[in-house]
């Protein structure tokens, strides 16, 4: 094509499309505008990366947890013990369990229930353990919208502090078979003094 009388330093390829096999040396400096964009994009990537450790340090929501393998049968026993220790009532055929503030709380996902119903207190830290005894389930607290994967054979212990009182649902959001859509659990969060929140639904009357 054209000769490059004005560019004696290095021979540049004429501009070409991506279909053309470039000849000669194409490892040449980019134009300043491309360098600027490269630098900005790189800096942005570093911001994206820094945010995660920063949130571990300063933020209030992290999924680190206390994680361990657990035999499904052993986990079921632990949940039964937890229910026997702190059961305060029943709701729709499921035990309602009110553990002491600050204690370990055990929740079991299985086809197709979340067992048991939990009664927690606002502003108190609990260690919420999640596991399954059959297939994968998805713990999704509604309407807070916090989501965790519940994997059989693994115990995921998460330090949680309920920051609002009220009635919460646990939706299963991992496909677990034909009854997946019926897998709905419940968490009741009482006020700091243990009283029921403002306008409880009729079903929440716990003896």
The only residue of 9, 17, 193, 198 in contact with another protein, by rule CB under 8 A: 17
Region of 15-23, 80-88, 95-103, 190-198 interacting with another protein (CB under 8 A): 15-23
Residue 74 engages another protein in binding (rule: CB under 8 A): no
* Residues between 80 and 119 with contacts to another protein, criterion CB under 8 A: 92-94, 113
Nearest approach, Cβ of 151 to another protein (angstroms)?
Answer: 5
**What's the closest the beta carbon of residue 40 comes to another protein, in angstroms?**
7
Burial class (CB in 10 A: 0-12, 13-18, 19+), 167: middle
Number of residues located near another protein, criterion CB under 8 A: 100
In terms of DSSP bridges, do strands 166-172 and 184-190 run parallel, antiparallel, or are they unpaired?
antiparallel
Pick the closest to residue 128 from 88, 90, 174, 168 (CA basis).
168
In the three-class reduction of DSSP (H, G, I as helix; E, B as strand; rest coil), residue 107 is classed as strand
Q: How far is the CB of 85 from another protein (least distance, A)?
A: 23
Q: Of 161, 48, 187, 44, which Cα lies nearest the Cα of 107?
A: 187
- Phi and psi, residue 162, nearest 5°: -65, 125
Instruction: Please list, in sequence order, all residues whose beta carbon lies within 8 angstroms of the beta carbon of residue 127, skipping any fewer than 6 positions away.
Output: 66, 103, 104, 105, 157, 158, 159, 160
Site string for another protein, 148-177 (x = CB under 8 A): xx-xxxxxx-xxxxxxx----x-xxxxxxx
State in angstroms the smallest separation of the CB of 126 from another protein. Answer: 10
Q: Is 75 in the site for another protein (CB under 8 A)?
A: no
Q: Interaction with another protein in 118-147: which residues (CB under 8 A)?
A: 125, 130-131, 134-136, 138, 140-147
């Amino acid at each position: 094509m054209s000769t490059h009388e004005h560019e004696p330093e290095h021979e540049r390829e004429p501009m070409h499309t991506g279909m053309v096999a470039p000849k000669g040396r194409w490892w040449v400096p980019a134009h300043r505008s491309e360098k600027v964009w490269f630098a900005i994009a790189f800096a942005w990537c570093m911001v994206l990366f820094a945010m995660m450790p920063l949130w571990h340090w300063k933020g209030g929501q992290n999924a680190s947890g206390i994680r361990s393998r657990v035999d499904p049968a052993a986990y079921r026993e632990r949940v039964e013990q937890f229910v026997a220790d702190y059961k305060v009532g029943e709701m729709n055929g499921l035990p309602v369990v009110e553990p002491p503030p600050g204690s370990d709380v055990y929740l079991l996902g299985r086809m197709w229930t979340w067992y048991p119903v939990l009664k927690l207190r606002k502003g108190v830290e609990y260690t919420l353990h999640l596991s399954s005894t059959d297939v994968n389930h998805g713990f999704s607290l509604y309407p807070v919208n916090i989501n965790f994967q519940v994997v059989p054979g693994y115990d995921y212990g998460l330090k949680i502090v309920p920051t609002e009182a009220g009635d919460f649902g646990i939706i299963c959001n991992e496909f677990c078979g034909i009854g997946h859509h019926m897998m709905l659990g419940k968490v009741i969060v009482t006020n700091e003094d243990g009283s029921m929140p403002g306008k409880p639904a009729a079903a929440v009357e716990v003896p």
